[in-house]
Chains A and B, each alone.
Chain A
């Protein structure tokens, strides 16, 4: 998550000659941090180029089987082709949008209900004790085994995948919200009560804000879980979507298309991650900046 721009440089071992002005020291520090950023960027690009050319070279020279492993230029070409021509069923954008729609609906409903249930049970010890074994049991079900059941219940369309994305997200957000509520500072709660807060005001003014960092931590991973739910649902039974596209490409041994679909999903998840970090940073302006270790 941290970008090269935020990494602090340890200046302590630099000893300046007596009489060096503050401006000179500042300029030197800025130059040093700039050099560091460029160095990191150069290494990153270098490693990427090395890996891609190694893959390309190995596939073309026959060290690895290009039929199974494909290679970067073939994948890029296939991706362009998919973007321009789509598949027999629909355009690439329609497949992508459908998968996104399933994941997004599942993500929002799952996290909303997860937060509500987590906060409610976190605030109510009796209910939490009563429901604990049920929640543990439900949580023990590997989510993907539900895919065929949801398809049976809800059909091949949108809603069976939404349901799967929902259950993928719900438990993660629920348990983090629950834990976040439990960890809320006792002194802070007592302070609010003595200042005059009624139970509902304690929940909205103290409990939820202090559980927010826990909740956000779960939302970060939850979006990729929602995508997993949508795609697995599509593997099991669908007519459109990225999961369907991968499944179909496998049927005709079109490995380049399979990798192209993966690249597409990775881009989507990284974008979602970036958006979420932006939102979190906006909401968490009150938080002290993280201390930098060396």
Chain B
């Protein structure tokens, strides 16, 4: 049982209909396996179908062909073991911080007192204990992301999907958030699929980096990141191995980015 992978995408294709009625593919013969507890990063040119992949895993989107499995079972509907962190700010702006964090357990029918205790615990873990009563608009970008992480982690996800979650943050805040994420993740042992277009972010965080081709996306290459954990993100980028890996992946990625730019032009 425990050696069934957390996520399997087997020869998945996904076609969309454009507004003028033409079908176009965002994914083609796409295969990906994520082991339990593995941290996977998907990098690829902008708009190549990285987010589509995540939607297929959540069950919010369906493959046109191929199979998507979560813990060995085909996806049908939203799996409660999945957590998702969005690129955009998806907090509920009319709820204060604690009411945002408590949303998951309450939606899942937990008792109120228990849910709030748990939410306080998670807010303390992300260092926002003093901001319970603040509304999202009163927080900085980094603080909002911490709330989003607490909101996701409180459901104890076994699979964590992250769609460019830190792309809107400034560089310094982003590094702090990377360290925060790795710390929280190491305590839970969830499988992570982290979508990004930032190569250094991918290498710094992940066990395995998949480089995707330009649309329709398939997997171009797979890179294992043999940098020991725990990693300190602010220092790891000056590591020899990091630079070597970075150079190798960039060579792959560059071809695709250039191909994407040419196709767009």
* Residues of chain A having any CB pair with chain B under 8 Å: 185, 187-188, 190-198, 201, 205-206, 209-210, 212, 284-288
- Cα(A190)–Cα(B84), bound, Å: 9
Q: Which residues of A lie under 8 Å from residue B107 when comparing CB positions?
A: 192, 195-198, 201, 205
- Cα(A205)–Cα(B94), bound, Å: 10
- Cα(A194)–Cα(B79), bound, Å: 8
Known contacts A195-B103, A287-B93, A287-B137: does B86 contact A187 (CB below 8 Å)? Answer: yes
- Cα(A284)–Cα(B82), bound, Å: 32
Q: Is A192 touching B103 in the complex (CB atoms < 8 A)? A: yes
Known contacts A196-B155, A205-B92, A286-B137: does B103 contact A190 (CB below 8 Å)? Answer: no
Would you give the shortest CB distance from A94 to chain B, in whole angstroms? 42
Q: Is B84 touching A194 in the complex (CB atoms < 8 A)? A: yes
Q: Is B60 at the interface (CB under 8 A from chain A)?
A: yes
Q: Which residues of A lie under 8 Å from residue B88 when comparing CB positions?
A: 185, 187
Q: Which residues of B lie under 8 Å from residue A205 when comparing CB positions?
A: 92, 103, 107
Chain A: CB-nearest residue to B85: A191
Chain A: CB-nearest residue to B109: A196
Partner of A196, one of B94, B95, B104: B104
Report 29 cross-chain contacts, Cβ distance below 8 Å, ordered by A residue. Answer: A187-B90, A188-B90, A190-B90, A191-B86, A191-B90, A192-B92, A193-B60, A193-B78, A194-B58, A194-B60, A194-B83, A194-B84, A195-B103, A195-B108, A195-B151, A195-B155, A196-B107, A196-B155, A197-B103, A197-B107, A198-B107, A209-B94, A285-B135, A286-B94, A286-B95, A286-B135, A286-B136, A287-B93, A288-B137
- Cα(A246)–Cα(B13), bound, Å: 71
- Cα(A194)–Cα(B160), bound, Å: 11
Interface string of B45-85 (1 = CB under 8 A from A): 00000000000001010000000000000000010101110
Partner of B92, one of A194, A196, A209, A287: A209
Partner of B104, one of A190, A195, A212: A195
Q: Is B31 at the interface (CB under 8 A from chain A)?
A: no
* Residue among B87, B93, B95, B137 with most chain A CB within 10 A: B93
User: Which 6 A-B pairs rank lowest in CB-CB distance, beginning with the nearest?
Assistant: A196-B107, A191-B90, A288-B137, A195-B104, A196-B108, A286-B94
Interface size on B, residues (CB 8 A): 28
* Residues of chain B having any CB pair with chain A under 8 Å: 58, 60, 78, 80, 82-84, 86-96, 103-104, 107-108, 135-138, 151, 155
Q: Which residues of B lie under 8 Å from residue A287 when comparing CB positions?
A: 93-94, 137
Would you give the shortest CB distance from A288 to chain B, in whole angstroms? 4
Q: Is B80 touching A196 in the complex (CB atoms < 8 A)? A: yes
- Cα(A192)–Cα(B155), bound, Å: 12
Chain A: CB-nearest residue to B87: A187
- Cα(A209)–Cα(B95), bound, Å: 10
Would you give the shortest CB distance from B106 to chain A, in whole angstroms? 8
* Extra 5 A-B pairs, beta carbons < 8 Å, given A193-B60, A197-B107: A188-B90, A191-B84, A201-B107, A286-B93, A287-B137
Q: Is B90 touching A185 in the complex (CB atoms < 8 A)? A: yes
- Cα(A184)–Cα(B88), bound, Å: 14
Q: Is B96 touching A286 in the complex (CB atoms < 8 A)? A: yes
Q: Which residues of B lie under 8 Å from residue A191 when comparing CB positions?
A: 84, 86, 90-91
Would you give the shortest CB distance from B127 to chain A, in whole angstroms? 22
Chain B: CB-nearest residue to A288: B137
Would you give the shortest CB distance from B4 to chain A, in whole angstroms? 22
- Cα(A49)–Cα(B92), bound, Å: 48
Q: Which residues of B lie under 8 Å from residue A201 when comparing CB positions?
A: 107
Q: Is A194 touching B137 in the complex (CB atoms < 8 A)? A: no
Q: Which residues of A lie under 8 Å from residue B136 when comparing CB positions?
A: 286
- Cα(A284)–Cα(B137), bound, Å: 12
Q: Which residues of A lie under 8 Å from residue B91 when comparing CB positions?
A: 191
Q: Which residues of A lie under 8 Å from residue B151 when comparing CB positions?
A: 195
Would you give the shortest CB distance from B90 to chain A, in whole angstroms? 4
- Cα(A284)–Cα(B93), bound, Å: 10
Q: Which residues of B lie under 8 Å from residue A192 when comparing CB positions?
A: 92, 103, 107
- Cα(A287)–Cα(B96), bound, Å: 11
- Cα(A185)–Cα(B91), bound, Å: 11
Chain B: CB-nearest residue to A193: B78
